[in-house]
Amino acid sequence: MTANTKIARFARRTLTRLMAAGATCAMLAVPATADTAKPLDNQETLPLVLNKSDRTMDFDWPLLHVGTGEYEDGPTGVTVFHFQKRVLVQVDVRGGGPGTVNAPYMDLGYDFPELDTIVFSGGSWYGLESVTAVASALKDDGIRDGDAFSMEPNIAMSVGSIIFDFGSRRLNEIYPDKRLAQAAFRAAKPGAFPLGARGAGRFAKSGGFFGCNAFSGQGGAFKQVGDLKIAAFVVANPYGVITDRDGKIAACYKAKGWPKDLKTAELMQDFPESRKEGWTGGDAETASAKNTTISLIVTNQKLTPPELKRLAVQVHTSMGRGIQPFATQFDGDVLYAVSTAEVEGAPYGSPDLGVMASEVMWDAILASVPEQPKAAILAKGSKLQKAAQDNATGAYEFSRFASLEVTAKDGKLFARAVGKRPVYGIGHEEAVELQAAAGGDYTVPGRYPLTIHFPAESDTIVLNPGNWQQVGKRK
């Protein structure tokens, strides 16, 4: 043990004692009231969806366990990375709106492994509850305790970051809470990472800067060279567009008139013209301006804190190739770099390791893109039958701030937002006609697909059925 390590551990134990001594002075009891006793979104009854996957990245690394949890009613979720022994971690923060737990502590650069878990979460700053909830689970399950007075402090270290998945993209404010995060932690397992709209990437989007508003998610990639292992994980929710190695946009709802094989460079080079009406057709009301890409790079090569910090910086910088523009004021980009120190002797120098890790991260970014929903096909409709009209008309509530009123006139259906906020481009001023689509559904034609489904003999309405659906209940 080095002298610096002994000093750092002594300082940490001293700080913990001081905090413990002053804790009772800072506590303030707040009595529960009728308004605060029950959560408005009633999340405690939501079903837990754990480790669900459509596509999976398989990897061979017994030390690293991954668990995901989702609330389908959001939809929103959480992703937990649990290292089976403590590891060394560094962080690089780039975006203008980050949300993190314990980032300043990681920046101190102590040279002994302390990290147990990294948590990625939806729910904006409310989702940070997930990070501390996993630390509590480590204690409650007997993996860590509250002993900070020995030479080997045993307090759980959980760090993590969030993405913004509220706003115009969904019509409720359900967030990943303590219950969901702890369930995902306890369900974590080695060797499999769900890709696409899963875990913390459950309602991620990309490309709002150019009005693309494509659906996104979480991605992963793994590479092994000899004994060296590199794994990259990312939740891609960027303001910029995801770009492949040929320079093409990986996912985008293009404006009318855009070239079929449009490249990101064309949008970037023609800016600001490329974002003007008539060139992009972008709708400022529907384009999200609160975004984030949170990522993790893991290597089994033993690295010092400065080397690990440089790896974080190099890989994070490289991500500007796969996401353009990257790290804007409206992004909360954070990258964590972890060394499990299973391979000693530094088989690769820092720049070489950084190049390989950067390419693995680009693979992870591209793997995050799910299949995009397609616009409904218009049907040659006849007048609405009375049974269908009775099944569809009414006032539907998605949350306390989003409601939709559906009416019928002359054999046609119309919808108007009656809550506090618009509903996917359906505003308050004038009712919008719902046009008949194939399969008995309805649609509102436009740049972004909007499919409306009225389940038979049900008091619900479903917008965009599938991975990103929003369900309203008839009042």
Residues of the chain with pLDDT under 70: 1-41, 150-151, 278, 280-289, 381-384
Among candidate residues 292, 299, 328, 340, the one labeled active-site is 292
The whole-model pTM stands at 0.89
The amino acid at residue 271 is F
What does the pLDDT read at residue 337? 98
Residue written as tokens 């990103």? 468
Cα gap 114→124, rounded to integer Å: 26
Query: Is the omega angle on the peptide bond into residue 272 within 30 degrees of 0, that is, cis?
Result: yes
What does the pLDDT read at residue 144? 93
The amino acid at residue 20 is A
The amino acid at residue 284 is A
Query: Is the omega angle on the peptide bond into residue 325 within 30 degrees of 0, that is, cis?
Result: yes
What does the pLDDT read at residue 280? 45
Please, is 185 exposed, middle or buried when counting C-beta atoms within 10 Å of its C-beta (0-12, 13-18, 19+)?
Answer: buried
What does the pLDDT read at residue 388? 76
pLDDT digits (tens, 9 = 90+) for 127-151: 999 999 999 999 999 999 987 776 6
pLDDT digits (tens, 9 = 90+) for 294-348: 999 999 999 999 999 999 999 999 999 999 999 999 999 999 999 999 999 888 9
The answer to whether 346 and 114 are in contact (CB under 8 A) is no
Q: How far, in whole angstroms, is CA 378 from its chain's centroid? A: 33
DSSP H or E segment with residue 215: strand 214-215
What does the pLDDT read at residue 17? 38
Is 292 in the active site?
yes
Question: β-strand 214-215 against 189-190: which pairing, if any?
Answer: unpaired
Maximum Cα–Cα distance across the chain = 84
What does the pLDDT read at residue 32? 41
In sequence order, what are the residues at sequence separation of 6 or more whose Cβ sits closer than 8 angstroms to the Cβ of residue 277? none
The closest alpha carbon to 236, from 140, 368, 419, belongs to 368
The answer to whether 451 and 441 are in contact (CB under 8 A) is yes
Cα gap 97→120, rounded to integer Å: 15
Residue written as tokens 């009123």? 405
The answer to whether 205 and 224 are in contact (CB under 8 A) is no
The answer to whether 61 and 191 are in contact (CB under 8 A) is yes
Torsion region of 100: left, alpha or beta (phi above 0 gives left; psi -120 to 50 gives alpha):
beta
What does the pLDDT read at residue 282? 39
What does the pLDDT read at residue 389? 81
DSSP string, 87-107: EEEEEEE-SSS--EESHHHHT
What does the pLDDT read at residue 456? 86
